[in-house]
Amino acid sequence: MGIRHIDRHRNYTTVRRAHAVTDSIRLIIPAGCNSETLNHVYSPDRLQVHNSCQTVTGTVLRILQEKDGDTHIRLQLDSSYAGLLNDYNYMDQKGTLILEIVCAYSDITQQDAVSACQGYTNQVPIPSVGQHVSVVGQYVTDLDHGWNEIHPVYSIATM
């Protein structure tokens, strides 16, 4: 569970999350980003945060349901966002940025992810393949895989 503090003078939200293995993680979330979703990322210590509120645009190429309850989306970025990709995105994800909509469905078979989604229903709509979308979320490197992602996705809108 997160503890939120909104400082209206500085226009950001501070989120503290306790994790069993690491000390508290303190993130600064700009106003307008949905920090509540961060509470439903399992094992957040596997994600290296680069930007807590990144916007990207691109075209949806592939959608997968993962064992952890997340929807995994390959997004072909518009050219102005190409700098967000790293070598692992090109080698392992066909030159796409990965989007993770956490707790997108209830059939979770990965045991260490079950508690992160317990009692939470994600309201982020899942786009269709071929749609051009604008996405807002936390821009990270997944340290388990090496590629960059938006994880979690805070919002998706079709363009």
Please state, for a pLDDT cut of 90, what percent of the chain lies above it.
Answer: 67
Strands 97-101 and 132-142: unpaired
Neighbouring CB atoms inside 10 A of 15's CB total 21
Does residue 10 belong to any structural domain of this protein?
A: no
Spatial separation of the C-alpha atoms in residues 48 and 43, rounded to whole Å: 11
Does residue 32 belong to any structural domain of this protein?
A: no
What amino acid is encoded at 100 in this protein? E
Please state the φ and ψ torsions of residue 113, each to the nearest 5 degrees.
-105, -10
Does residue 34 belong to any structural domain of this protein?
A: no
The total number of structural domains in the chain stands at 1
CB 41, CB 32: distance < 8 Å: no
Answer left, alpha or beta for residue 95, where phi above 0 means left and psi between -120 and 50 means alpha.
left
Does residue 70 belong to any structural domain of this protein?
A: yes
Does residue 125 belong to any structural domain of this protein?
A: yes
pLDDT above 80 (res 24): no
pLDDT number for residue 138? 96
Could you report the per-residue pLDDT of 72-107, keeping only the tens digit for each? 999 999 999 999 999 999 999 999 999 999 999 888
Closest among 113, 93, 92, 95 to 104, alpha carbons compared: 113
Does residue 18 belong to any structural domain of this protein?
A: no
pLDDT number for residue 5? 34
Does residue 30 belong to any structural domain of this protein?
A: no
pLDDT above 70 (res 9): no
Containing domain of residue 113, as a range? Answer: 44-158
Does residue 38 belong to any structural domain of this protein?
A: no
Kindly report the CATH number assigned to the domain that includes residue 153: 2.40.50.140
Mean pLDDT score across all residues of the chain: 83
pLDDT above 90 (res 156): yes
Quote the pTM value. 0.79
